Amino acid sequence: MSFSQPAEFNRRRFLGLAAGGLSAAALAACGGGPSTSNEPASSAKPELDFTGVKPASNITFWSSNPGSSQQVTQEIIDAFHQSQSDIKVQLVSAGSTYEDIAQKFQAAQAGGTLPDLVVLSDVWWFRYFLQDSIIPLDGLFKALNWDTSDYREQLLTDYKYNNSTWAVPWARSTPLFYWNKAHWAAAGLPDRAPTTWDEFAEWAPKLQSANAGLQHAFQLPALAGYAGWSFQNNLWGQGGGWSAKESFDVTCDKPEAVAGLQFLADAVYKGKWSGVAGKDSTQDLSAGAVSATIGSTGSLVGILKVAKFDVGAGFLPGGPKSTSPVCPTGGAGVGIPKKIKPENQVAAATFIKFLTSPENTLKFAQATGYMPVRKSADASAIIAKTPQAKVAIDQLSVTRNQDWARVFLPGADQEMANACATILTKNGDVQAEMTKLKSTLEGIYTSQVKPHLK
C-alpha cells in the first residue's frame, strides 16, 4: 500500500523533523500514548501577535530531566532569576521519561493545570501540533527580538511545519558507537569504531575470545526505548527504512529493511556475539560486561563517570549499501501550550531564549553530554575535558532526518519496539513481523494522521 502526500504536505513545508532520543535511558521511552484528537490540525495561519503583551511574573517548566539534567537546569533557572527580577520559573519534574511527561501534558489538556513551557520529544511534538495544543513560536521570536539564525540548522528545522516553528531545540542528541578500549587492545583491533557492521561482525569473535568472562561483544540497546530510533541506522545502511525517505509510504517489510533487522537477529542467534539490554546497554558497557554498544550522546557523561576503562566514541557504522548518512538526530526541544494566557506565553519564551543561549547550551552540554544547540557556542572547553564530545558534534553534519513513520505516526515507536522484541528476544520471523508492522503503521496513518493533513 502506498500513501501519496497531500499537495500541501511536502519537504519545503515540512522541513525534516528528527529525533531520539532518545536519552540516556529516559530519552527513549517515547512510544505508545494518547491518540490524536478528532479536531483538525491548524493549517497555515498568520503568526501570533504579542505586541504590548507584558510577561507573567510566575511560570512553570515541566521537564522529565533528560540525561539527569535536573541540577543543571535548576542552576540555569537560578541564573535567570539573577539576571532579571520580572519572571520567576518553577521547575516541575513531570515524570522520568518522555512518555511520562507526554501523558501528563495530555491529561492537562482535558482540564488540569497546564505548564507554561514543556519538554517535547521527537516522537511527541507532532501529535500536539495535530491536536492544536501548542503554539507556533515565530511571533514570539519577533516580539523578543530573538534571532534564531544561530541555532544549528539541523536541529531547529526539526520543529518546522507549515512555515512555522513549533519548538526550540534543547536536549538534543545523536546515537554514538561506544566501545571499551581495553577490550579492543586485548583483541588487537585498531583504536577506532568499525566503519561498517560487517566489519564489526568480523571483530566480534576476536573480542569474545580475547576477553575472558565477556557476556557479549556487543549489546543492543533496550528495545522499548531505542529500537525505533537507533535501528534506523541498520535499515538505512542496507538501503531501507521504516518508511521511504521523506514520505509516509511504509517500507519496513521491504527486502532492504528486512535485511537490516535480519543482521541483528543473526548477531543474537547465529553469531551469538550480541545480546539485548534489559534496561540500559550503556550501563552494561560501563560495567565491563560487554565490549560495545550504541547509546545517546546524552549518555556520554554518565558512561565516563562510571567506567573504569578508557571509553571510545565513534560514528555509527554503515552498511553494505550506505555508510553515510546513517545516523539520526534525536532528543527533545521545548514548546509552549496554546491554552495558557498570552502573558504566560511571553514569559515562557523569554525563559526559553535564556535557557538555550550560547552560554547555557554549553553549560547544559557539559553537564549532560547533549549537543550544544547554538553555532556560536564555543565547545572547545567541553572537548578539551571530554574529547569524545567532539565526535557527536562532528557527526551532526552527516545526520539524516528520521523516518516519518517513526516520528509522525502516534504510537509507532512502541509498535516498532514490540516487533523488534519479538524478533530479537523470541527469535521471531523477521519478514512476518515486518509485514504485520507495516499493516499496523498504515492503520495509524489512515486513522490518526491523514485526516488532519491538508
Which residue is associated with the grid cell 484528537? 37
Q: How far apart are alpha carbons 307 and 286 in whole angstroms?
A: 4
Q: Please write the tens of the pLDDT for every residue from 98-123.
A: 989 999 999 999 888 999 999 999 98
Does 394 reside within a domain? no
Give the count of domains, the chain.
Answer: 2
152 and 134 part of one domain? yes
Q: How far apart are alpha carbons 298 and 25 in whole angstroms?
A: 9
Task: Strand 311-314: give its sheet, edge to edge.
Answer: 274-276, 216-220, 290-296, 175-180, 311-314
With contact defined as beta carbons under 8 Å apart, do 5 and 452 qualify? no
Q: How far apart are alpha carbons 181 and 207 in whole angstroms?
A: 11
156 and 208 part of one domain? no
Does 95 reside within a domain? yes
Instruction: Provide the domain limits for residue 322.
Output: 175-329+405-452
Cis peptide, bond prior to residue 325, ω within 30 of zero: yes
Tell me the pLDDT of the chain averaged across its residues: 89
272 and 313 part of one domain? yes
Identify the pLDDT of residue 401: 85
> Phi-psi bin for 32: left (phi > 0), alpha (psi -120 to 50), beta?
left
Q: Please write the tens of the pLDDT for every residue from 304-325.
A: 999 999 999 999 999 999 999 9
Q: Please write the tens of the pLDDT for every residue from 117-166.
A: 999 999 899 999 989 999 999 999 999 999 999 999 889 988 988 889 99
300 and 435 part of one domain? yes
196 and 277 part of one domain? yes
316 and 297 part of one domain? yes
With contact defined as beta carbons under 8 Å apart, do 89 and 344 qualify? no
32 and 146 part of one domain? yes
Identify the pLDDT of residue 452: 85
Q: Which of 338, 353, 388 delimits the end of a domain?
A: 388
SS3 441: helix
CATH classification of the domain holding 217: 3.40.190.10
Residues with Cβ within 8 Å of 245's Cβ and at least 6 positions away in sequence, in order, are 403
Q: Which of 346, 363, 388 delimits the end of a domain?
A: 388
Does 261 reside within a domain? yes
Q: Please write the tens of the pLDDT for every residue from 255-278.
A: 999 999 999 999 999 999 999 999
Does 14 reside within a domain? no
Does 66 reside within a domain? yes
Q: How far apart are alpha carbons 343 and 320 in whole angstroms?
A: 54
pLDDT > 80? residue 238: yes
Does 309 reside within a domain? yes
Q: Please write the tens of the pLDDT for every residue from 157-202.
A: 889 888 899 999 999 999 999 999 999 999 999 999 999 999 999 9
Identify the pLDDT of residue 336: 98
pTM of the model: 0.85
123 and 185 part of one domain? no
Highest mean pLDDT among 19-23, 33-37, 205-209: 205-209
Q: How far apart are alpha carbons 183 and 217 in whole angstroms?
A: 9
Structure letter (DSSP) for residue 446: I
324 and 343 part of one domain? no
Does 8 reside within a domain? no
23 and 92 part of one domain? yes
Does 310 reside within a domain? yes
pLDDT class of 7 with cuts at 50, 70, 90: very low
265 and 343 part of one domain? no
pLDDT class of 4 with cuts at 50, 70, 90: very low
Share above pLDDT 70 across residues of the chain, in percent, rounded to a whole number: 90
> C-alpha cell of 453?
493533513
92 and 193 part of one domain? no
Identify the pLDDT of residue 22: 27
Q: Which of 361, 388, 415 delimits the end of a domain?
A: 388
Q: How far apart are alpha carbons 371 and 66 in whole angstroms?
A: 13
